[in-house]
A and B are shown apart, each in its own frame.
Chain A
């Protein structure tokens, strides 16, 4: 091929990194799914309020992080699939089915991926709290906790230590490490994770948005009023979904 007919080198990158961090932790009969609301590109704060965590139905909450345009479009498409499922089956899609749906949708774009890290949290059909985490092309697994996004490398080691008790020895002769933490402890860990990430990462901050899904088997069906939570679930008989918003540092 002679030089004249060779394709011209131009560059259009269809992706950008819009910062922020998301985090989800599963309890025995609840799940907490959280994210900050800052959206950035490079050093620029585009907005201080762009939600990254979305209620899908009364038992599933999805957090998306990465390229914001892909994230928003992906959530929109998941919601539309769930709506079609509701039309066809007259019930909400169960959590593990949503997880598989998300894998299929992500892998369908294997060769032009949604540049998005997804974390799905909620309540399984057996009433247990669950977290599923995904990579951009659909590999997924069920876990107890997961952080993703800009401050993943700050938050995940902290969670390994505080949730999985990595590098911690139980007190000799004392009780073993608990398998599941209580809700109040989890809320405190999530809040601290984000204040710490805000402190050390420029792309994290502005506001914390935390969704809490309570299983029907959870002993309390409401949250401590001091948490100032807003209920966003739609039915009185199903799982309960709450949102808690907290300011983070804006610098």
Chain B
């Protein structure tokens, strides 16, 4: 009897440094599952802006909403899906790296290097004995001398740049939306606040408002049937020049998080959901999102 075939494949999942006969690292794949348990985050990028949109959960009337977005530096912000505690460790590391870059070179850390730094950290956990992979995925937006960027970081140690991406529960629905519409915003550049204020009523093609509208559409796809986007459960993170609804944004277009009343104009502008008569993109069989005060419930 050939060893390995007689056992369940999952024999190879107790130690993340051991490959299965199929060449897979099961623990790493389980970590990727932890990311899918978290509520969704969506990221989009145009020629001038990069934005994040997240869906916050709360256990109920009595609890607050779980924070899903973090500022790393003036020019970088992240959205998370998965274990919030793991996210704090990694985001603190990114913050320290950003401070060190300012200390030594007095410049904002290049976005790709910030993401690569945590990807390298995550990779170590997939190879060294006695460790566990991080149970969290990030969408990272930032701007540097090469313009605005959107990256995805995952516990497997990969970091890839995207025009649009989504992670977390039912993120496949958001991705389906983004794949269908990305051409409308990926190469649009809009940096003209004056004409924005003239055309306040409707979002001009290529504007930040339009980018956010696409983002909200994508985020809405990840909702359960009976849920709606509200100002309480939606956060928007932005880098890039101020939009027409924004006040007090600095000249650099630093990272800012819109929450509660500041997201109101964008939610108001969103056309209502289409009739639920099967017109919604069929959600891929994602596990139902568990309720909990953590982004992911670690144990019942």
Contact = CB atoms under 8 A, between A and B. Distances in A.
Contacts of B92: 87
Chain B binding surface, main DSSP class: helix
Interface of B: 71, 92, 95, 99, 102-103, 247-248, 250
11 contacts: A76-B103, A80-B99, A80-B102, A80-B103, A83-B95, A83-B99, A84-B95, A87-B95, A234-B248, A236-B247, A237-B248
Nearest to A90: B71
Nearest to A77: B103
A87 B72 CA distance: 8
A234 B95 contact: no
Interface in A227-249: 234-237
Contacts of B102: 80
B248 A84 contact: no
A236 B103 contact: no
Chain A binding surface, main DSSP class: helix
B221 to A, nearest CB: 30
B138 to A, nearest CB: 16
A245 B103 CA distance: 27
Most chain B CB inside 10 Å of its own CB: which residue of A76, A83, A87, A237: A87
Given A76-B103, A84-B99, A234-B250, 14 more contacts: A80-B99, A80-B102, A80-B103, A83-B95, A83-B99, A84-B95, A87-B71, A87-B92, A87-B95, A234-B248, A235-B248, A236-B247, A236-B248, A237-B248
A102 B139 CA distance: 36
Nearest to B96: A84
B35 to A, nearest CB: 23
A14 to B, nearest CB: 20
A115 B247 CA distance: 42
A234 B249 CA distance: 8
A234 B242 CA distance: 14
A235 B248 CA distance: 6
A187 B103 CA distance: 34
Interface string A4-34: 0000000000000000000000000000000
A138 B291 CA distance: 51
Interface in A65-108: 76, 80, 83-84, 87
A236 B246 CA distance: 12
Interface in A172-195: none
A80 B248 CA distance: 23
Contacts of A235: 248
Interface in A198-251: 234-237
Contacts of A76: 103
A155 B99 CA distance: 37
Interface string A108-133: 00000000000000000000000000
Nearest to B72: A87
A76 B95 CA distance: 16
B205 to A, nearest CB: 30
